[in-house]
Amino acid sequence: MLSKSFTENVLQVNAKESDIKCALCKSDMAAASRAQDPFQDLCKEATCSVCLDYFKDPVTLDCGHNFCRACLTQTWEKPDNTQNSCPHCKEISSQKNFRTNQLLANFVEITKKLSLQIPQKAKGKENVCEKHQEPLHLFCRDDETLICVVCSRSNEHVNHRMIPLGTAAQKYKVLMGLRQDDLVKEREKILVYKTETEKEAQDLLKQTKAKTEKALEEITEMQQFLKKQEKHLRAHMKDLERQIARKRDEHLVLLSWELSSLESLIQEMKEKCQQPPAELLQDVRNLWQRCEARKEFRKPDVFPPELKWKIWDHGDIALFLEVTMKQVRDELISGLTLQKANVTLDPDTAHDHLILSEDRKSVTYENTSQNLPDKPKRFKKTSSVLGCDGFTSGRHFWEICVGEEEQWLAGVARKTMERNDLIVYGPEGGIWAIGKWGNTYRVTNNNQSVSLNSELKRVRHKAQFQNNLITKIKQFNLSIRCESNIFLYKNKDK
User: Higher-confidence residue: 430 or 447?
Assistant: 430
CA pair distance 372, 18, nearest whole angstrom: 69
What pLDDT does residue 203 have?
A: 93
Taking the CA atoms of residue 125, residue 127, residue 128 and residue 129 in that order, the dihedral angle to the nearest 10 degrees is: 180
Cβ distance 331 to 367 under 8 Å?
no
DSSP string, 445-477: TT--EE--SS---EEEEEEEEEE-TTT--EEEE
Tens digit of pLDDT for each residue in 275-296? 888 777 887 788 788 787 777 7
Tell how strand 162-164 and strand 138-140 pair up.
antiparallel
User: Higher-confidence residue: 453 or 80?
Assistant: 80
Per-domain residue ranges of the chain: 3-160, 168-303, 339-493
Please state, as a whole number, how many other Cβ atoms lie within 10 Å of the Cβ of residue 408.
Answer: 18
CA pair distance 59, 105, nearest whole angstrom: 9
HSE-up (13 A, CA, CB side) for residue 135: 9
Confidence of residue 198 (pLDDT cuts 50, 70, 90): very high
Confidence of residue 3 (pLDDT cuts 50, 70, 90): very low
Confidence of residue 31 (pLDDT cuts 50, 70, 90): very low
Taking the CA atoms of residue 181, residue 184, residue 190 and residue 192 in that order, the dihedral angle to the nearest 10 degrees is: -110
CATH domain 3-160 topology: Herpes Virus-1 (3.30.40)
Q: Do domains 3-160 and 339-493 have the same CATH topology?
A: no
What pLDDT does residue 482 have?
A: 61
Tens digit of pLDDT for each residue in 173-190? 888 888 888 899 999 999
What pLDDT does residue 196 have?
A: 93
What pLDDT does residue 359 have?
A: 92
- Top mean pLDDT of 37-41, 91-95, 276-280, 359-363 is at 359-363
In sequence order, the 6+-apart residues with CB closer than 8 A to the CB of 494 are 472, 473, 474
What pLDDT does residue 54 have?
A: 86
Can you say how many angstroms the Cα of residue 108 is from the centroid of all Cα atoms in its chain? 58
Distances (CA, A) of 475 to 256, 326, 443, 467, 493: 63, 19, 20, 6, 6
DSSP reduced 3-state for 112 = helix
Long-range contacts of 70-73 (CB under 8 A, 24+ apart): 72/98
Chain mean pLDDT for the chain: 78
> Nearest Cα to 70, choosing from 86, 88, 84, 51?
51
DSSP symbol at 58: E
Cβ distance 165 to 141 under 8 Å?
no
pTM above 0.75, yes or no: no
What pLDDT does residue 187 have?
A: 94
What pLDDT does residue 140 have?
A: 92
Tens digit of pLDDT for each residue in 302-332? 888 888 888 888 777 888 888 778 877 777 7
Order of strands, edge to edge, in the sheet holding 440-443? 407-413, 431-437, 440-443, 449-450
Can you say how many angstroms the Cα of residue 411 is from the centroid of all Cα atoms in its chain? 26
| Class of domain 339-493 (CATH, top level) | mainly beta
